[in-house]
Structures are given as structure tokens and as C-alpha cells.
A = this chain, B = another copy of it.
Amino acid sequence: MAKSKNDPQFMLGIDLGGTKILAAVVDEQGRILGTAKRKTHAEHGADEVINRIANAAEKAVQKAHLDLSMIEAVGIGAPGVADHNTGVLEFAPNLPDWFNVPVGPRLQKMLGVPVFLENDVNVGTFGEAEAGAGRGYKSVVGVFPGTGIGGGIVLDGKLWRGARNAAAEIGHMTMMIDGPLCGCGRRGCIEALASRTAIERDIWGEIRGGRASIITDLVDPDDPTIRSGVLAEALAAGDAVVTTVMERAGYHLGVFTGSVVNAIDPGCVIYGGGLIEACGDFLMPLIREHAYRHLLRPVAPEHLPILVAELGDNAAVIGSALLARAAIQERVDG
């Protein structure tokens, strides 16, 4: 029987991470119908990882009580530089030795379904824009502070990839010219001011400068990493050092948000990622306060909502599935 336009559509979304693979069957409203998880085991090489992706995909389809032949398209969110035209993952910092791996074409051959590869922050932003906090907004900027600061831009309902597939690297917009060194080697990027890594650097700086902080009790001296959960704990305890440093990060993110809005003027801005999940109650009011003050054309907050992401760990599977659906539709329409 020929498919009718009104038949429900099912897609597969894959979140390929450095440590785990999440696969989910997603419908056209972005609802998850079945999921499966696998460890990535990147150390076993790309062939093995692609097998594991296929395996997780099949398991998720089975759990959704569907058949692979009922899946319209597969989307993959990958942690690195992904060429959406060719499906090649050019480079991924957390997948050692992965250079120019044709993940899309190889998975497409294995599954017999069209596969679309995209950067994971891009798909996460698309997921939030279409089926998360940004539902109803056509243009969305997503900001995800964590170890770094990732970003995504959706304009008029489409992911904005730029002329060289290099857009939305908003973590590397300069906010403090000649400011602190960034992981990218340049100075004063917002990532160097307000990522978890920057916050960590500034907290240890204060402590080395002689200020007392609960952090010295909470963190293993052999590993100076300060996880987002620990920051939340220190804030809850009223730690002065962590509060000062986090207030500055919130201020910087707020001014940054105003600055980005002055250029792009999206319908809303969505904040997500590890730092916001753990410390959003503290950071979001600061971000909003300073963002609204830095708009060239002031608007009432309801006309430029600055929202918290809603999809959590499912953003990438939902976003990659919906992006794959959009790609299929573009082929049909175009």
C-alpha cells in the first residue's frame, strides 16, 4: 500500500558521544518512542563504533515496536567537525584517531535508510528550537556553557551552517579583547570568561591568592577539576569565592547574550549544557538581567525570552532525528 501524506513519520536519532551512543526512534513531533544505549569504545576504532551505532539503532527500533523499513531517515549528532553534505566526520576531539571517517555513507549502507550527519551542538540547538524550549520560535540562538561554550543558530526554522560549514562557534566570539587565554589559543573569547573551565581557573586563582573557599574541601587535590555539581554545592553553601566568580561569569554571559542579540535578533535565546543544568538557578537571573540591559533596542523580556533548554540528554537524538526529517523533506520539496 502506498504511503499517505498523513501517515505518521518515524525517524532515528543518534547521539554519538565520546563515551556512549544513544539511539532513539522519534516521531515528527519530536516524541521518543524507543531508545537504546551502547558504550562507544572509541579505542576499538571507527569500524567497531559504526557497528555499535547500527546495533543501537536496530535495538531502538525494536523497542519502539517498529521495523527498520518504517524509518524515514537517520540523523547523527557527532562531537566534532561534521560535513553534512558528505556525511564525513572530519575530526572529533573525543574520538581519538578519527579523521575523515565517512560515518554517514557507511551507516546508510548498513541500515538501508538515508543517514544525515551533523555536529552535536547544532543538532541539540535544532532539537530545542523545534521540540524543546524554542517551540514556536522561528529563529533561535542556543548557548551551551560546559567545559567549553558550544552554540547553535537556527534562522527561519533552518539550521544556519554558514558559508564554510563553520558558523555558530559563538564560544569563540571575543568579549574581552586581550583578555584571558582561551583553549583555542586566542584571548578573551566568551569561552575563556564563562565556561566551567574558565570558572575553575578563576576559583583556583582566588584560592592561590589567599582566599578561603569550601572548594579545597570538596575537590580532590590530585585533580583540580571543579565539576558543575560541585559549583552548585559551593553556591548553596554560600561560598564567597565561588559566588564572586560565578557572578562574574553570569555578568559576562549576560553581556554576551545582549551582544549576540544586537547582531542576530533571534526570537529567543536558549541556554543549556552542564553548567546551566547544575547552576541555572543562580546564573539565569544574572544572564537575563545583563542581557536586557545590553540590548541596543530594548524590548520587554517577553519579546525576547532567554530560556533554559528542556530536552536535557535527549536534545541530540531528537534534534538529529528532526533535522534528518527536514533534510528528507527538502529533497522532496526541492
Contact = CB atoms under 8 A, between A and B. Distances in A.
Contact of A260 (B153, B160, B177, B263): B263
* 5 pairs of A and B residues whose beta carbons are closest in the complex: A162-B265, A167-B265, A163-B267, A174-B259, A172-B296
How many identical chains are in the complex? Answer: 2
B153 A263 contact: yes
Contacts of A173: 173, 259-260, 262-263
A169 B296 contact: yes
Given A155-B155, A174-B175, A296-B172, A166 B259 contact: no
A252 B296 contact: no
A266 B162 contact: yes
A185 B300 CA distance: 18
Contacts of A175: 174-175, 177
Contact of A164 (B169, B176, B294, B297): B297
A260 B175 CA distance: 11
Interface of A: 81, 137-139, 151, 153, 155, 160-170, 172-177, 179, 184, 186, 193, 252, 255-256, 258-260, 262-267, 293-294, 296-297, 299, 303-304
30 contacts: A81-B297, A137-B163, A153-B263, A155-B160, A160-B264, A161-B265, A164-B265, A164-B304, A166-B262, A166-B265, A166-B297, A167-B263, A167-B264, A168-B265, A169-B262, A169-B263, A170-B263, A172-B262, A173-B173, A173-B260, A173-B262, A174-B175, A174-B259, A174-B294, A175-B175, A175-B177, A177-B179, A260-B263, A263-B263, A264-B264
Nearest to A179: B177
Nearest to A252: B177
B167 A259 contact: no
Contacts of A168: 263, 265
Contacts of A258: 174
Given A163-B267, A173-B173, 15 more contacts: A139-B163, A160-B264, A164-B297, A166-B262, A166-B297, A167-B264, A167-B265, A172-B259, A172-B262, A173-B260, A174-B255, A174-B256, A174-B258, A174-B294, A263-B264
A115 B294 CA distance: 34
Contacts of A267: 163
- Scoring A81, A265, A293 by chain B CB atoms within 10 A of each residue's CB, the highest score goes to A265
Contacts of A176: 176-177
